[in-house]
Structure 1
C-alpha cells in the first residue's frame, strides 16, 4: 500500500473513531482505533519516509486528526508536534484533553507511541 493511502486510512479512521466516541459507540470506536493503529504501524515500518508522509496531517482540517498525528510524531518532529498539541490543548473538550495528555506523557517521559524514531 502506498504511503499516501496509509496516511488517508489513518486520518479517516481517527475521524471515524471520534465520531463513534461522540455517539457512545465503543465497539465502533475500538474498531477504528485498531485500523488507524495498523496504518500508523505500517507507516512507521517504512522508517522516516513513513513518518514524513504522516507530517501532512499536522495541517489537517480536523483537530482530532492533527492531534493524533502530532501525538505519534512527537519524537520525530518534536517542535512541530508540540506546537500542534499546545494549540489544541488550549480548548475544552475531548480532543483538547487528549492533546493535554499527550503533552503530559511527553514531559513526564512515559510517552511511547514511536519508540523506533
Structure 2
C-alpha cells in the first residue's frame, strides 16, 4: 500500500495497540464487520452532493488498489470538491508523500473561513 518500505519500527507502532489492548481489538472487529450493503452505500453516495463544505480528495496516481479514475469521480460528487493527484505514491500518500499531503491540508485549512 506504500511505494517504499515502511520501517519495521513504524509498523510495530501501528500494530502495537491492537496487540496489547482488548478494546482496540474489539473496535477493529466491529469496524471490519460494519461494511454497509450495496443499497446503503448507494444511498450514502446519493447524499454526498448535499455536503456544502470544501472537500479535498487526494488520490495517488500509481495506486494499485483504487483505480485512478475513481478520484475525479469522487471529487465531482461534492459541490466544493477538489481533486489533487499525487505522483510517486501508492495508496498510503501520508507515508509516500507526506510533504505533499501536508501542503494540501494547510491550503485547505487556510481556505475554510473560521466558524464554519
TM-score (ref. length: structure 1): 0.25
More helix by share: 1
TM-score (ref. length: structure 2): 0.26
Q: Which structure has the bigger radius of gyration?
A: 2
